[in-house]
């Protein structure tokens, strides 16, 4: 029997897609060497904890308006950047991140449309050539080419993009 899709269904599908994509990017040789991992939207820190486990050799820098993460998932002070990401992440443009993960969708189309005015260009500027953007909001930017999703990711709005170069 077909059941209507609920917000719980969408949440589970988003989180499964997020984990599958980050696990794929953690495979040897996927990311360019040397660059940082940028977590745009620290939130509760669940994804941050996953990034720390999957990318133990990289610096992981988390961005949010305020720290509200679960205790063990609060990053070291030097690796947290507070403020509106649209402005606070500008200081990292050109520094060649290997991975940008952005989980800052709201579920409100009008608010997400505003985010999509600045996020693609910012992410393109943050990444090294060959670096990846994984995003809960799908987007389009000339410097970002859509990359193949892991086969288990279906029916999710998650997007994966590789910076050209």
Residues near ligand SAM (CB under 6 A) are 41, 43-47, 63-65, 84-86, 103-104
Residue 33 CB, nearest distance to ligand SAM (Å)? 25
Q: How far is CA 4 from CA 7, 11, 27, 48, 89, in A?
A: 10, 14, 35, 32, 38
One-character DSSP codes across 71-113: GGGPPPGGGEEES-HHHHGGGGTTS-EEEEEE----S-HHHHH
Nearer to ligand SAM, 88 or 147 (CB): 88
Residue 8 CB, nearest distance to ligand SAM (Å)? 15
Nearer to ligand SAM, 31 or 85 (CB): 85
Residue 122 CB, nearest distance to ligand SAM (Å)? 10
Nearer to ligand SAM, 112 or 130 (CB): 112
User: Residue 27 and residue 30: Cα distance in Å, rounded?
Assistant: 6
Nearer to ligand SAM, 3 or 6 (CB): 6
Nearer to ligand SAM, 46 or 95 (CB): 46
What tokens were used for 99?
A: 């991975």
Residue 164 CB, nearest distance to ligand SAM (Å)? 25
Phi, psi at 15, each rounded to 5° = -70, -40
Residue 37 CB, nearest distance to ligand SAM (Å)? 13
DSSP for residue 141: B
Is the C-alpha dihedral spanning 74, 71, 50, 29 positive or negative? positive
């Amino acid at each position: 029997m077909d059941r209507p899709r609920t917000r719980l269904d969408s949440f589970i599908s988003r989180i499964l897609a997020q984990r599958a994509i980050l696990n794929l990017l953690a495979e040897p040789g996927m990311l360019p060497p040397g660059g940082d991992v940028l977590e745009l939207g620290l939130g509760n820190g669940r994804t941050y904890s996953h990034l720390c486990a999957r990318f133990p050799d990289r610096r992981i820098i988390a961005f949010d308006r305020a720290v509200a993460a679960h205790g063990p998932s609060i990053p070291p002070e030097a690796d947290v950047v507070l403020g509106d990401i649209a402005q606070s992440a500008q200081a990292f443009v050109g520094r060649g991140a290997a991975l940008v993960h952005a989980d800052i969708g709201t579920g409100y189309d009008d608010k997400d449309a505003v985010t999509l005015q600045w996020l693609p260009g910012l992410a393109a500027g943050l990444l090294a050539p060959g670096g990846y953007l994984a995003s809960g909001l799908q987007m389009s930017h000339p410097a970002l080419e859509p990359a193949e999703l892991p086969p288990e990711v279906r029916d999710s709005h998650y997007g994966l993009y590789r910076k050209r170069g």
